[in-house]
Structure 1
Amino acid sequence: MKTLATLDKLKILGEGAKYDVCASTASKVQKSGKWDIGAASPSGVCHSFTPDGRCISLFKVLLTNYCEKDCAYCPNRAGRDVARAKFAADELAGLFMDFYRRNYVEGLFLSSGVTHSTGHTMSEILKVAEILRSRYKFGGYIHLKILPGASGGDVAAAIRFANRVSLNMEAPSAAHLAKLSRTKSFDGEILDGMAKIRNHLKEQPGVSHSTQYIVGAAQEADRDILQSVTKLYGQYNLKRAYFSAFQPVDGTPLAAIGQTPLIRENRLYQSDFLLRLYGFTYSDLAFELNGNLDLELDPKLAYALKHPELFPLEINKASFNDLLKVPGLGPRSAAKIVRVRREHRLTQPAELKNAGLVLKRALSFITIDGRFYGDRSKLAKPNRQNYTQLSLWGDSRDHLLTGAMADH
């Protein structure tokens, strides 16, 4: 049998890794000291920006696309007729360092299909990281994928080597995951893996973990996903969730299902920002009767329209947390308003422009020194399908454009 050349493998396995989302500015390189090479970047992962404005290039690749799992959406699922390849640990580590020395990349994202067994594949993933850290003294960014069913020892080892680890949820509940795979256990592999990561992260506080959902593949609703995300943030110390709109792949069982609109993915990211950075809770989110977010309104505006009794807010008196609920206002602009009004009473809309808020959006939800400058019709309930508000803990179901807010 003819052996594939290294660059031919890279073409296959680099393409196969594109379905894992990992773009973030939330991580910082923490590994230093005993590893000397590569610790130049203070920021995170693929296509993120350092504080000095540089873009980080990430070497994102699969160790192998041979896989024993049957995920219905996955191009690398077992039994699909697709070109297959596998790197040896030495080979992949050497290839990465070659690319790093040529300044092509600054960090590594390593995932894999499952071949032979989860334990065997995790062992090979860990070999790559160990070679980079020990033999090459690489001190830069490494993101390692934790495979479902990984042992506690493998999880602990991955966290020792990595700056970030991730275990994909894929679906928000056992019932939804069952629609995607017959070989994965939601409680026994996914949630148990999340618990192992949480517990071992206590020993390595500089490391973080993330997850990913395939949006629309399991016919789940947005409320299911966001309920799951909220529980992960609260119970498993998750750092960041990513959302990938389902795209059908020929030759898979879900090939006939239509593509999930990208705007739905965007609305989930916006809602996630509200949960993580704006002080919103799950019960604050406004869902339509079908359980999805409104595709025509960003989630913050939907919240404001759902609660006309709260608006308009007086800009000179509202607390920082209340200001964050105003459409067009973000954490930086809210903080600046709070600082400025300690010494100066705001009296005109023009004074707010320097605070960085989106004045056109905010004016209908605030008063300035007792005066209203907006459009009162925007405070009325919209003539559209009613929203439903769900309690995170009261639901009887089973469990729970890259992250940029459309407005502040």
Structure 2
Amino acid sequence: MKSGGSYIFNDRLVYRNQEEYVVVDRPKVVQYIDAAMNQPDLDGFRKHITNLKLALENPDEDLITSNGQGFSLRLEPFLTDIKQILDAYTLERARYYAERLKKGLSEVKTTKVNDINVRRWKDYDEVFTDSLWNINRRDSSGAHLGWYWGNFIPQIPHQLMLRYTKKGELVVDPFLGSGTTLIECRRLGRHGLGVELNPKTLHKARELVEAEENRHNVITRLIVGDSRVFDFEAAIRAMGFSAIDLLLMHPPYHDIIRFGSDENDLSNAKSTRDFLHMFGEVLDNTLPLLRKGRYLGIVIGDKYSQGEWIPLGFYCMQEAMNRGLSLKSIVVKNFEETKGKRNQKALWRYRALLGGFYVFKHEYILVLRKV
């Protein structure tokens, strides 16, 4: 099984795990900082901070530990903070930076919806905060495969879980497809429930999810069902939960790709109105179980039909807002090719020039909060 994985995000190389975290001996690091703080002049202060820097860079030193007093951090940003201290022109400014560094070691500050320690916010280069996502390729590490026509890239559930869940919480995907969400659940230590209408698709998804190592010993359930009427409450209670912490939905983009002949499949809806009605039924069947203050992520694109641009993304967003959710963010994500257009670039350019439209190169990630 492959591990790691890198891709380009907004012209920046990103590694799935930017670098390995190290565990430092917190009391010993604090001793170095306190010794520096007690110095009466800048030269003495810098001497102790330099000793700390050398100790962290020297593998023979004992600042890297595995004992219970350890503190997990990324070494590169930590050394950058130390450099800022050493570069300070005044003792007052150096002490200010050192005190801030010490606080980052002594205090953990997270929100109610994720495990991101904002005291060490520089450790989280892997987490996106821009509303424009230009990603050059899908993450193919681990059990992720791009076999399913219309599946979303793993970076999407990966990012949304990092931002809107804590380890051990429950993620539910009513449009499971190839199992991407549940693979990410295993990798990030979140419990996951996925419901998929097509039994053959679910069978293949189960194989991939089971192929992903369950390092965090989480529960991942894959069930065949129609998410408009499926008993989600019974399913999550069987997993030991009373509510959902994050809902992720990647519905069909109406009839752009038909996933089968089942009339209950949203890709077979007879009209945009019918599609939105069916999507609304999925919302009505899941949103009551979403915890107050928690998030729904909808991944959706628009379509072009009979000379008209159909803004499916905004229509789906409005369906969610009509049910009392507040809009937190609209992320625009690029996509260069689909399997249907991969060998038809010239044809689609011709059609665009002839028809007065623009070729789709984006989709939306809509983030909404239950209030």
Q: Which band: TM-score by shorter chain?
A: 0.3 to 0.5
TM-score after normalising by structure 1 = 0.33
Q: Which has the higher strand share?
A: 2
TM-score after normalising by structure 2 = 0.35
